[in-house]
Each structure stands twice: as structure tokens, then as C-alpha cells.
Structure 1
Amino acid sequence: MAEPPASARNALINWDAEQSEYARFLLRSRGEILQVLRGVAKGRELVTVYFDHGQRFFLSSLLAVEPGQDALFLDWGADEELNRRALGASRLVCVTAHERVKVQFTLDGLDQVQWNGRPAFRARLPKLLLKLQRREYYRLVCPLREPLFCHIPLKSEPLEAQVVDISVGGVGLGNLAPNTPLLVGERYPGCSLTLPGEGALLTTLEVRSLQDLALRNGGLVKRAGCRFVDLPAAQQAMIQRYIIRIDRERIALAKGA
């Protein structure tokens, strides 16, 4: 599998941070976390595992959850080179779904083990898990092979920002310059982005959060969480169709279709 482009780096960093816009959706109870993970395993949901600060990823599934071992087991990836690199990663971010609601959790490293006679990954159970409680909050991590960009007509000069995730409620913008002119609480009318296969969206964005993300070279970029202001129902439907199509494509890819 090809590596994501440089512009996709850091797309997932700090999504589970206590100070993030998603903090209220974090599960901390071991019982609740186990319930969600078991549901993911039972539903055979696709799990996208990101590492190296989002520079690389592979597709997997959750094989089992073993609280007595403080462990979960993930299916071995299809690319041996990515598997080798993943084993050397100290932090990995898993994105999946439970009952059609987005789920995300972080793993502190992987070990290679045998599972029913075949290779698999083993990791310690996460202590935090993000589960968005309402379906309308479901956020799709945008495909790296076909990135989305949002045009924001700022007064100083137009800004082209990569969309790292999208829902019917808003977008996450990544890889922004440290001195980005975007301000929390400000609304920016006339923003536009094009969804492949659906068409163009024209909307007002309100910036809800700004986060500093550290690059491996020591540099900094920002990530902005934005909501759509009064997005028409027809455009919400466009986003829903886009999310469903991309999810289906990822499932087909994981099955080798």
C-alpha cells in the first residue's frame, strides 16, 4: 500500500486529547471500553491503523479482546513491509466504527503473535476510547488517495486547506501553517469544497478549535475543527452519500474486491 502524501501527516494526532473538541465523547470506564471493542470485533468492522504520525496506515480487523491478558488482537496486514514498520511504532491510532458510530483509540505499540496458527498483532487495551454518541457526528477520515481541499476566501488572501475528516456537521482542516489567520469563534462565509462524485459545497464555516501538532522534524502545524453553519439539507445529503460510498469502498478493499 502506498504511503499517504506529506500533506496528510498529523491528521489524527491529539484527537483523543482531553482539551480537544471531542473530549466529551471519551470513554474512560474499562467496562464501557471493553463493551465497544467487543462490539467492533463481533461486527467484524474494518479497522484502519495509522502510525508514524499518520504517514503510514494499514487495514485490519479486531480479532479478539482479552481483558484477563489486558490485550486485544488485530489481524495481520496485507503488506509485510508495513507490518514490519508498524511493529516498530511506539504509538498507533485505530479508527473504526461501532453501531455505525465512529470509534477511535490509541495503542502504545504492537507485538507479533500467533493467532489460530497465523500471524497477528497484540497490543495492550487502551485506557481511553473515543466514541461519538450520535450518528450525525460520525466523521469520515478522508481518503488519502483522493484528498479533499477547502477554499476559504480570507480577506488577506485565499486559503486552501486540506480536509482531513468530514461529517454532516463540519470538517477538520489539517496541515495549516503555525501562523494561520483562522480564529476560534470566527465565521468565514463563502467557503467551498468539492466532493468527488457528488459535487460542490458552498457554506459558511465556524472555527470551533485550533490545535498545535508537532512534526517529526520539530516543526509545528495547526489543525482546525470547523462546523458548517446552516448547511442546507440537500448538501447534508451529499455528504452522507459521500461518506457511505467511501466506507463501502474501504470495506471492499479490505476484502480484496
Structure 2
Amino acid sequence: MPNSSNVRFELLESDSQYSQYLVRDPREVRFVIKQLAAKRALISAYPDDSPNFGLTSVLEAGGNDQSFVLDVAADAGLNEALERADSVICITQLDRVKVQFRLEGMVRVQHNNAPAFSAQYPDKLLRLQRREYFRLVAPVAHAINCFIPMPTATGDRVYEARVLDLSGGGLAIVAPPSGAQLHPDMEIPNCRLEIPDSPPILITLKVRNIFRVTQRNGTEVLRAGCQFVGLQTATANIIHRYILKVERDRASRVAQ
């Protein structure tokens, strides 16, 4: 069974401003599943907590039924694992937005005289990064770091955090290790953002949400989504210029 390059997200905490990440309305959940069916979106399906996955897609999600139909995976062993699993984590994209949901069991059925799976609609699903700002995934070759001052029992300490993505409105970081307790609505002044080929930038961050992320190697880290507070125009221009430069460089490499 293959090992996916996807990462799995589990929403730990979120403020009301970002509650759109979690979709709980049954009608909206069904609508998203129907969109996945209409667009034949490929879904990575992970049985239980396994790092292995199989590719599937939604074949039918119509009517007033409580369940919908998914295609079987190409791997027979993976299909057996999906059928045995108590729960299956499904990860996909819809209009460039990451969608994730958990299915509580999948049942083998016949659909149009072909093998398939039936599953109950999830009671909620997670949609990520539907933002008004273009978000840049930080280049691996040129790391972006943010240094975050945090009070501790022995005085202030500065934690170094790797930036995962960056936009004109905020950034996402790998949350610092235990000792720096981040939580939604927490405002952190005097953070130092270090962007390649630019002088360090002093910013104020407001924590908006915290996710647990399972990486490709199976390790878990915390991802904190943060909003810029009171960003100066000159500082915003530096960030925008960097985002444009990286995108131009990427486009140039693709064109070669």
C-alpha cells in the first residue's frame, strides 16, 4: 500500500472567526460530498491510524439516503483494511481547498454491477485555507522563521518557529514545543519574522486556530494559524514583494 504525501489535520482549538473551517450543518456536509462526486475528486483514504492509504472517489451522493457510495481502491489489501477499519480518514481537495472528514466504517456493496463501498455521511468535515489572501507555501530551500517571545517561569524566552505558509493577512507556523502555550485569541507582540533577502521584520501576531498535523513520517506537530495585527504598510509591502518573487521564480522554473 502506498504512503501518501498528504498530511492529516485535526482541529484542536479555533475561535469563532474561523469557525468556517468546521462544517457541521448536515445539508452543507452533503453538499460538499455531492461536489466531490460531481468533480470526481480523488480522495486519499486512511484506515484507522495507518500511514498507508488508498485512492478512491465518490461515485454517488444523491437523494435522501443516509449514505453515499465510494469507489474501491486499486489495492485488494487496502480494501480489506478499509472494510475492517473502525474509522477512515479521507483527505481531498475541492476548488484548491483542503477537505478532510472521518467515516465511521465502510461497507462493501455492489454499485452498477461493480464493487464499491457504502458509508454514512460524516457528522462534520474540515475545510482549510479559504481565505481572502493568496497564501504562499514556504519554500523548503529557503526557510522562513519566526521568533516568538513568550513569558516563562524563569523569565521571557524566545522560541524559533518554522513558517509553513505566508500571506498578506497572516501566517501559519509549527507551534513551538511545550513551554510555549499558544491558544486562540492570544496576542503576541514583538515577534521577529525573518524573510530571505530582507531585514528582520517586527510584527504582532494573534493566534486564530491550532491544529494537530500528522506528517509524512508519522510524527505529529502542532500548527498554529496566526493573523497579523496592526501591520505597517512598509512591512506589508516587504511580505507582498517576497510572495511575488517566489511565485515568479516558481513560474520561471515550470516554463523551462
Equivalence for 2:44: 48
Deviation at 1:130, TM superposition (A): 3.7
Q: Check 1:222–1:28 CA distance in 2 against 1; reply closer, same or farther (3 A cut).
A: closer
Cα deviations across residues 72-91 of structure 1 (Å, max 9, x unaligned)? 22222233444333333333
> How many angstroms apart in 2 are the aligned matches of 1:138 and 1:28?
26
Q: Check 1:223–1:113 CA distance in 2 against 1; reply closer, same or farther (3 A cut).
A: same
Equivalence for 1:190: 193
Do the aligned partners of 1:112 and 1:122 also contact (CA within 8 Å) in 2?
yes
Cα deviations across residues 8-56 of structure 1 (Å, max 9, x unaligned)? 97x41236x7768742343333333322221221111222334544734
Do the aligned partners of 1:3 and 1:56 also contact (CA within 8 Å) in 2?
yes
> How many angstroms apart in 2 are the aligned matches of 1:134 and 1:54?
28
1:14 aligns with 2:15: no
Of the three residues 69, 78, 90, the one matched with 1:94 is 90
Point out where structure 1 has 5 or more consecutive residues left out of the alignment.
194-198, 245-257
1:232 aligns with 2:232: no
Equivalence for 1:177: 177
Q: Name the stretch that deviates more: 106-115 or 124-133.
A: 124-133
Do the aligned partners of 1:132 and 1:138 also contact (CA within 8 Å) in 2?
no
Secondary structure of 1:232's partner?
A: helix
1:151 aligns with 2:148: no
Q: Check 1:110–1:22 CA distance in 2 against 1; reply closer, same or farther (3 A cut).
A: farther
- The amino acid that maps onto 2:240 is A
Instruction: Kindly tell me the number of residue pairs found equivalent between the two proteins.
Output: 226
Cα deviations across residues 208-257 of structure 1 (Å, max 9, x unaligned)? 14648599xxxx9644223466373344446778999xxxxxxxxxxxxx
> How many angstroms apart in 1 are the aligned matches of 2:248 and 2:51?
27
- Identical aligned residues as a percent: 28
Q: Check 1:28–1:185 CA distance in 2 against 1; reply closer, same or farther (3 A cut).
A: same
Do the aligned partners of 1:101 and 1:135 also contact (CA within 8 Å) in 2?
no
Q: Name the stretch that deviates more: 62-71 or 97-106.
A: 97-106
- The amino acid that maps onto 1:86 is L
Do the aligned partners of 2:69 and 2:119 also contact (CA within 8 Å) in 1?
yes
Do the aligned partners of 2:14 and 2:210 also contact (CA within 8 Å) in 1?
no
Secondary structure of 1:40's partner?
A: helix
Equivalence for 2:207: 208
TM-score, structure 1 normalization: 0.60
Q: Check 1:179–1:97 CA distance in 2 against 1; reply closer, same or farther (3 A cut).
A: same
Secondary structure of 2:73's partner?
A: coil
1:38 aligns with 2:41: no
Equivalence for 1:3: 3
> Which structure would you say has the larger Rg?
2
TM-score, structure 2 normalization: 0.61
Secondary structure of 1:37's partner?
A: helix
> How many angstroms apart in 2 are the aligned matches of 1:72 and 1:237?
42
